[in-house]
């Protein structure tokens, strides 16, 4: 049996039946990382000692006959913008190169309470800004299906770790598509929860009004297990909410489901093979008896522009705290003799500590929020955000779910889009509207172009993750 190929559910069953120990599982993954990750670069930090220690604890529990939870002894990888106490947390940035997390994120606490084994922290585009994994200060992550290609981003390391069997499951964060788009490009399952379904406490903020943490897994069932574990209201995040999640829906009938297919999502520029795979997926649902209806989300064409005003605006505010004094990288030590003023420390530390894309967004956002431009840009973008939200609301009066491609193309070559930020921004064309509207969405493997995976996106109503997962499972099963 190849231990690193098992799903969370299979690993759990095997542990319960004592087919293998948690320590064996943990070692198998650590070996796999040692062997594979030199070429993939999914991990920024491997927490070997604490992982082995935790696995040993779970083995003792099993030996003493205690009930174990579904996640006990399950090795997981965590995106490096989620805090794990006493472990380095870089957000993929030089500015946080030496930052040690002083506390656990709520999602980490929840995983640890259930006995999960944290293997390490995964690579990402700097502060989660990017769609390819190439904006990390620690070098790009590569797509396990084709090493000359990107895995997608920003949760690049998390998807690559799962796709390459270097982790049983992972957590990512999604602000404009960073769980779903890389999941699509790397052939794994990625769920972006409803805004407010999962606590953001301990997630390094990119855009507070969009960010959500979510699961990245090999199967839908595993995504369900992880989502159930991390979701729910958290007193430490006032935007989080209590809601009812049903882990099984016994009365669910695909024949009673009506899917909407937005005409604005099948546009020029979409790879014909991607379109074909998605149309086939839609047809499969139809063959099962589901109703398919064409719908319109008329403001879709403004989504990227809206997203790329609001995102830089919040970025410019959220990243103001990295000033060379409070956190991480500072020129105070290196340039002591030449320091002229406190302002110089700020400017130089930020100038040297942040990468190009981060600096670009800080400047764009500062501009969009400045007096005289605020109304023309930020305020206008917020109005469009409302219109985009209304589009979905109207559509969901008629249909239960919306089916779209996750990404207009499969994985592209490293370096292909790095010179042109706009091209990179367009990677989020089908995913960012979902964040603008605060809705849940999942990307599931739907087919392949050659050896490159293509993902289907299923968008649902707020807090209907259970139904989305059910519908996704129906597809996975056939």
Give the residue numbers marked as catalytic: 79, 154, 178
CA of residue 197 relative to chain centroid, distance: 14
| Rounded CA separation 181/156 (Å) | 10
Q: 271 and 279 in contact (C-beta within 8 Å)?
A: no
- Select 260 or 455, whichever has its Cβ closest to ligand GLN: 455
Read off φ and ψ for residue 452, nearest 5 degrees.
-100, 125
**23 or 206: CB nearest ligand GLN:** 206
Q: Is 433 in the site for ligand GLN (CB under 6 A)?
A: no
Instruction: Tell me the β-bridge partners of 137.
Output: none
Between 178 and 330, name the residue whose CB sits nearer to ligand GLN. Answer: 178
Q: Least Å distance between CB 287 and ligand GLN?
A: 33
Q: Is 131 in the site for ligand GLN (CB under 6 A)?
A: yes
- How far is 218 from 161, CA to CA, in rounded Å? 11
| Residue 120 contacts residue 78 (beta carbons within 8 Å) | yes
The residue whose two tokens read 């399950």 is 74
Q: Does the protein bind ligand GLN through residue 457 (CB under 6 A)?
A: no
Q: Which of 126/264 has CB closer to ligand GLN?
A: 126
Q: Which residue is nearest to ligand GLN (CB)?
A: 178
Residue partners of 221: CB distance under 8 A and separation at least 6? 7, 8, 9, 473
Q: Would you count residue 215 as binding ligand GLN (CB under 6 A)?
A: no
Token couple for 293: 């209806």
Asked if residue 154 binds ligand GLN (CB under 6 A), the reply is: yes
Q: Of 73, 133, 140, 176, which lies in the binding site for ligand GLN, with binding defined by CB under 6 A?
A: 176
Among 108, 183, 206, 442, binds ligand GLN (CB under 6 A): 206
Is residue 428 within the footprint of ligand GLN (CB under 6 A)?
Answer: yes
Binders in 25-84 for ligand GLN, by CB under 6 A: none
| Residue selected from 8, 74, 128, 166 as contacting ligand GLN according to rule CB under 6 A | 128
Buried b (16+ CB within 10 A) or exposed e, 168-194: bbbbbbbbbbbbbbbbbbbbbbbbbbb
CB of residue 455 vs ligand GLN: minimum separation in angstroms?
Answer: 15
| Residue 178 binding ligand GLN, by CB under 6 A | yes
Q: Applying CB under 6 A, does 193 fall inside the site for ligand GLN?
A: no
Binding of ligand GLN by 129 (CB under 6 A)? yes
Helix (H, G, I), strand (E, B) or coil at 429: coil
- Does 130 contact ligand GLN by CB under 6 A? yes
**At its nearest, how many Å lie between ligand GLN and the CB of residue 155?**
8
Q: Which two tokens stand for residue 315?
A: 């970025």
Decide if 58 contacts 116 (C-beta within 8 A): no
Please name the residues in contact with 45: beta carbons below 8 A apart, sequence gap of 6 or more.
Answer: 80, 87, 88, 120, 121
Cα 269 to Cα 71: distance, rounded to the nearest angstrom:
41
Chosen residue from 174, 234, 237, 264 binding ligand GLN by CB under 6 A: 174
Number of residues this chain uses to bind ligand GLN (CB under 6 A): 14
Task: Report the interface residues with ligand GLN, using CB under 6 A.
Answer: 128-131, 154, 173-178, 206, 311, 428
């Amino acid at each position: 049996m190849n231990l690193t190929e098992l799903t969370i559910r299979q690993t759990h069953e095997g542990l319960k039946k004592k087919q293998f120990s948690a320590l064996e599982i943990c070692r198998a993954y650590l070996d796999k990382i040692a062997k594979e990750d030199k070429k993939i670069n999914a991990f920024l930090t491997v927490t070997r000692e604490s992982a082995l220690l935790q696995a040993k604890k779970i083995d003792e529990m099993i030996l003493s006959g205690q009930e174990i939870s579904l996640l006990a002894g399950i090795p997981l990888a965590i995106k490096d913008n989620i805090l794990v106490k006493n472990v380095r947390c870089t957000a993929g940035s030089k500015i946080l190169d030496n930052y040690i997390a002083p506390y656990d994120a709520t999602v980490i606490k929840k995983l640890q309470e259930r006995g999960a084994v944290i293997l390490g922290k995964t690579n990402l585009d700097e502060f989660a800004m990017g769609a390819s994994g190439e904006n990390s200060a620690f070098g790009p992550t590569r797509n396990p299906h084709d090493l000359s290609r990107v895995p997608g981003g920003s949760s690049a390391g998390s998807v690559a770790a799962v796709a390459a069997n270097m982790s049983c499951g992972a957590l990512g964060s999604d602000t404009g598509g960073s769980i779903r788009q890389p999941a699509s490009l790397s052939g794994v399952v990625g769920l972006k929860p409803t805004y407010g379904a999962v606590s953001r406490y301990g997630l390094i903020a990119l855009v507070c009004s969009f960010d959500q943490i979510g699961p990245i897994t090999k199967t839908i069932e595993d995504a369900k297990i992880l989502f159930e574990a991390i979701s729910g209201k958290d007193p430490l995040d006032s935007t989080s909410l209590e809601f009812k999640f049903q882990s099984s829906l016994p009365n669910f009938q695909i024949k009673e489901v009506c899917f909407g297919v937005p005409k604005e999502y099948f546009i020029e520029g979409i790879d014909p093979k991607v379109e074909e795979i998605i149309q086939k997926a839609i047809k499969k649902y139809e063959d099962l008896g589901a109703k398919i209806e064409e719908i319109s989300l008329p403001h879709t064409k403004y989504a990227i522009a809206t997203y790329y005003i609001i995102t830089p605006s919040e970025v410019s505010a959220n990243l103001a705290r990295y000033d060379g004094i409070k956190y991480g990288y500072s020129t105070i030590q290196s340039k002591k003799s030449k320091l002229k003023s406190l302002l110089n420390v700020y400017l130089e530390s930020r100038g040297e500590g942040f990468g190009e894309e981060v600096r670009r967004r800080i400047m764009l956002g500062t501009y969009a929020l400045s007096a005289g431009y605020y109304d023309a840009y930020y305020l206008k973008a917020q109005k469009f955000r409302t219109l985009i939200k209304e589009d979905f609301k109207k559509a969901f009066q008629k249909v239960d779910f919306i089916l779209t491609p996750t990404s207009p193309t499969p994985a592209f070559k490293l370096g292909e889009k790095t010179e042109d930020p706009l091209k990179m921004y367009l990677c989020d064309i089908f995913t960012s509207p979902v964040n603008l509207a605060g809705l849940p969405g999942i990307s599931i493997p739907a087919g392949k172009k050659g050896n490159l995976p293509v993902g289907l996106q299923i968008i649902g109503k707020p807090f209907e993750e259970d139904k989305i997962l059910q519908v996704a499972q129906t597809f996975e099963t056939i």
